């Protein structure tokens, strides 16, 4: 099996001045994950490593650079899933750590549970030796500005609040195993304790070796209503290609609950797609030593991996 990795840096409307930063970020993340796959690493490790790159990059709404909740604080959600055995781990409303995706993986591997939230997640992080950092260290000037200007969002929060750079990755490794990972700061001005789609299995992501893997981004409450990741897997189970399944899933979310978003998908044969119903979604993919990047509908810049 030829390995493939696809990453996204959030669906929505991207401010022009940050576009280059987004492109560079997703390329770096995809190459990091591909490097792992090329060295016969597992899909699970590749998606985690790719997402860590994006969590550490202040352009994206995950880890450092996360958006702020109604009281101006960071609370993050993340999920990881292993297509080999349907094991999954997630954290929600977690604070004071740099890489929620790594904590999600520890939840999967070291506990009997699948989702730990707020205080319990922090206690578990401490017990696992994950360094605690002041939550302010995760806040950028840009997220503070965004918070201030969004304190009284317009009449359409669905449109005004998405597109702030949630991150995710899907991969298939040389053994045909698939995995997904998704990480986010959520929505600007969300209520304290709000748990979004990202932390919820079948919404923020899903991975099953029999069919493929999906990571989602967009308006979380809409994604949860249609369990978008699992819906797309269902479509592939019925014989659709990743592209058809992604289109059908996003179309259903738009018509049924007026929700917008984006997805990255890989199937068990290594076919993949990056699709979105928002104006833009930053994504990058590597397959056959070719790196592809896009932001706008129909865009696919291709370059060889150095």
Shortest gap between Cβ of 184 and ligand ASP (angstroms)?
5
Indicate the residue among 26 and 37 with the shorter CB distance to ligand ASP. 26
Helices (H), 111-219: 118-127, 141-149, 157-161
Nearer to ligand ASP by Cβ, of 18 and 176: the residue is 18
By CB under 6 A, the residues from 11 to 50 that bind ligand ASP are none
Residue 61 falls in which region: left (phi positive, over 0), alpha (psi -120 to 50) or beta: beta
| Per-residue burial over 20-39, b = 16 or more CB atoms within 10 Å of its CB, e = otherwise | ebbbebbbbbbbbbbbbbbe
214-273: which residues touch ligand ASP (CB under 6 A)? Answer: 217-218, 220, 223
What the block records as the tokens of 219 is 């308006």
**196 is an interface residue for ligand ASP by CB under 6 A:** yes
- Measured in degrees and rounded to the nearest 5, phi and psi for residue 8 equal -130, 155
202 versus 218: smaller Cβ distance to ligand ASP: 218
Part in contact with ligand ASP (CB under 6 A); list of ranges 93-101, 133-141, 182-190, 245-253: 182-190
Instruction: Kindly tell me which residue out of 36, 37, 169, 187 binds ligand ASP, with binding defined by CB under 6 A.
Output: 187
- Single residue of 92, 122, 143, 198 touching ligand ASP by CB under 6 A: 198
Q: Does the annotation mark 166 as catalytic?
A: yes
Contact range with ligand ASP by CB under 6 A, out of 16-24, 184-192, 264-272, 274-282: 184-192
Q: Please count the other Cβ atoms lying within 10 Å of the Cβ belonging to residue 225.
A: 15
55 binds ligand ASP (CB under 6 A): no
**Other CB atoms within 10 Å distance of the CB of residue 40:** 10
Which position among 117, 140, 166, 184 bears the catalytic label? 166
**Out of 6, 164, 207, 231, the residue judged to bind ligand ASP by CB under 6 A:** 164
Q: Estimate the crossing angle of helix 242-257 against helix 228-237, to 10 degrees.
A: 130
Check residue 57 for interaction with ligand ASP (CB under 6 A): no
Angle ∠(82,83,89) on CA atoms, nearest 5: 30
Q: Which is nearer to ligand ASP, 99 or 217 (CB)?
A: 217
Q: Are 223 and 216 in contact (CB under 8 A)?
A: yes
**CA-to-CA distance for 48 and 32, rounded, in angstroms?**
10
Q: For residue 44, how far is the Cα from the chain centroid?
A: 14
Of 4, 5, 7, 10, the one binding ligand ASP (CB under 6 A) is 10
Residue whose entry in the numeric block shows the structure tokens 């840009």: 142
Q: Please identify every residue annotated as catalytic.
A: 166
Residues found near ligand ASP in the complex (CB under 6 A): 10, 162, 164, 166, 184, 186-187, 196-198, 217-218, 220, 223
């Amino acid at each position: 099996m030829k390995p493939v990795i696809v990453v996204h840096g959030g669906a929505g409307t991207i401010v022009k001045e940050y576009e280059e930063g987004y492109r560079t970020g997703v390329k770096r993340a995809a190459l990091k994950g591909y490097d792992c796959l090329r060295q016969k690493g597992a899909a699970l490790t590749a998606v985690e490593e790719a997402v860590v790159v994006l969590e550490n990059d202040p352009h994206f709404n995950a880890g450092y650079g996360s958006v702020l909740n109604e009281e101006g604080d960071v609370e993050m959600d993340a999920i990881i899933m292993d297509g080999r055995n349907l094991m999954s781990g997630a954290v929600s409303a977690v604070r004071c750590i740099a890489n929620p995706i790594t904590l999600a993986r520890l939840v999967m591997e070291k506990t009997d549970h699948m989702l730990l939230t707020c205080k319990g997640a922090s206690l578990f992080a401490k017990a696992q030796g994950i360094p605690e950092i002041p939550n302010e260290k995760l806040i950028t000037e840009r997220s503070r500005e965004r918070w201030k200007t969004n304190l009284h969002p317009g009449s359409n929060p669905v449109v005004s609040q998405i597109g702030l750079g949630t991150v995710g990755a899907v991969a298939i490794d040389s053994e045909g195993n698939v995995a997904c990972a998704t990480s986010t700061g959520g929505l600007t001005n969300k209520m304290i304790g709000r748990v979004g789609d990202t932390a919820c299995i079948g919404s923020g992501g899903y991975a099953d070796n029999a069919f493929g893997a999906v990571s989602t981004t967009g308006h979380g409450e809409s994604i949860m209503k249609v369990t978008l990741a699992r819906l797309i897997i269902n479509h592939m189970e019925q014989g659709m290609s990743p592209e058809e399944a992604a289109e059908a899933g996003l179309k259903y979310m738009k018509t049924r609950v007026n929700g917008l978003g984006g997805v990255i998908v890989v199937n068990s044969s290594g076919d993949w797609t990056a699709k979105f119903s928002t104006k833009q979604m930053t994504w990058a993919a590597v397959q056959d030593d070719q790196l592809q990047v896009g932001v706008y509908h129909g865009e696919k810049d291709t370059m060889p991996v150095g």
